Amino acid sequence: MSSFLPPSERIWWKTPIGKEEILWIGIALVWCLIMFFMMPYWHIYGKQNLSNEAYQTTAPRFQARVDEMVAQYKIGEQAGIPIVKPPAGSDVYMLGRLWQWYPILELEKDQSYRLHLSSMDWNHGFSLQPVNINLQIIPGYEMVITVTPDQAGEFTVVCNEFCGIGHHLMLGKIYVKEN
């Protein structure tokens, strides 16, 4: 008569189930289905979804795209890192490497940009603060997301995937200006 003894009824799978168990299984199943369908629902009606767009790439290839953008749209420098202001609606690039996010971006509020992200060496974590959007940046892969900053101000990219002893030095900036 216990959970650690064999069932008393040999044909235990034919024993009827208690009322609260049936009720609870029903309630739980409905809740599980609601949670499941929330995800496709948000893909259709929600505004925060990751795109499925990603490419395999190499560090030199991605670096070349970044350098091209920096050469074309550089407007200044902060702490030795170029500040870049690409046109609204364009493709913008940011790379993670030991231990910085490069370059600094200046974007316009309420404009959409195709943001390309990749890593030059190890895994990095793109953690946009204080908005709190967090993405995994993997070497050899280029992630493309369309981002629409809806607040103006100074935003910081913290690295939140461990990347060695200088992990805590790895910060980047995105400035969003009212147009």
Partner 1 sequence: MAQFRVCPDSGFYFDKSAESLMKANAVAGAVFLLVAGFLGLGVILTRWQEVHLLPADVFYQVLTGHGINALIFWIIFFEIAILYFASSTLLRTRLAAPRWAWLGFALMIIGAVTNNIAVLQGNSSVMMTSYAPMQAAPHFYLGLILFAVGALIGCFVFLGTLVIARDDKTYEGSIPLVTFGALTACIIAIFTIASGAIILVPTFLWSVGYIGHIDAAMYRLIWWGLGHSSQQINVAAHVSVWYLIAGVLFGARPMSEKVSRSAFLLYILFLQLACAHHLLADPGLSSEWKVFNTSYAMYLAVLASMIHGLTVPGSVEVAQRAKGYTKGMFEWLRKAPWGNPVFSGFFFSLVIFGFIGGITGVVMGTEQINLIIHNTIYVPAHFHATVAVGTTLTFMALTYLLIPVLFRRALFLPWMAKWQPYVFSAGMTLMILFMLGAGTLGVSRRHWDMDFTGAALSFDYPGTAYTMMAVAGIGGVLAVLGGAMFLIVTVGSLLFGKKLDESAGLFQGFGVPLAPSAYTIEQPERLQMAPKLAVEQHGSGGMEAPGTFALALALLVCFVVYYFINWDYLASVWPLS
Is residue 152 a contact residue for partner 1 (CB under 8 A)?
no
* Stretch of 63-71, 86-94, 164-172 contacting partner 1, by CB under 8 A: 164-172
Q: Which stretch binds partner 1 (CB under 8 A): 64-72, 87-95, 149-157?
A: 149-157
Which of 58, 72, 90, 148 is close enough to bind partner 1 by CB under 8 A?
148
The SS3 call for residue 169 is: helix
175 binds partner 1 (CB under 8 A): no
State which of residues 24, 75, 76, 177 lies at the interface with partner 1 (CB under 8 A). 24
* Distance from chain centroid for Cα 11: 51
Beta-bridge mates of residue 108? 177
113 CB burial (10 A radius; 0-12, 13-18, 19+): buried
Binding segment for partner 1 among 64-72, 84-92, 125-133 (CB under 8 A)? Answer: 125-133
Residue 106 as a binder of partner 1 (CB under 8 A): the answer is: no
| Cα four-point dihedral sign 54, 155, 157, 65 | positive
Stretch that binds partner 1, among 60-68, 69-77, 88-96, 136-144 (CB under 8 A): 136-144
Among 63, 147, 152, 175, binds partner 1 (CB under 8 A): 147
Distance separating alpha carbons of residues 69 and 85, to the nearest angstrom: 9
Collect all residues with Cβ–Cβ distance below 8 Å to 118 and sequence separation of at least 6: 57, 59, 62, 95, 96, 137, 138, 139, 140, 141, 142, 143
Q: Which of 66, 86, 106, 142 binds partner 1 (CB under 8 A)?
A: 142
Asked if 113 contacts 145 with a C-beta cutoff of 8 angstroms, the reply is no
Q: Which of residues 43-102 bind partner 1 (CB under 8 A)?
A: 43, 46-52, 54, 56, 78-81, 100
Q: Which is nearer to partner 1, 73 or 124 (CB)?
A: 124
Tell me the CB-side half-sphere exposure of residue 108, using CA atoms within 13 A. Answer: 9
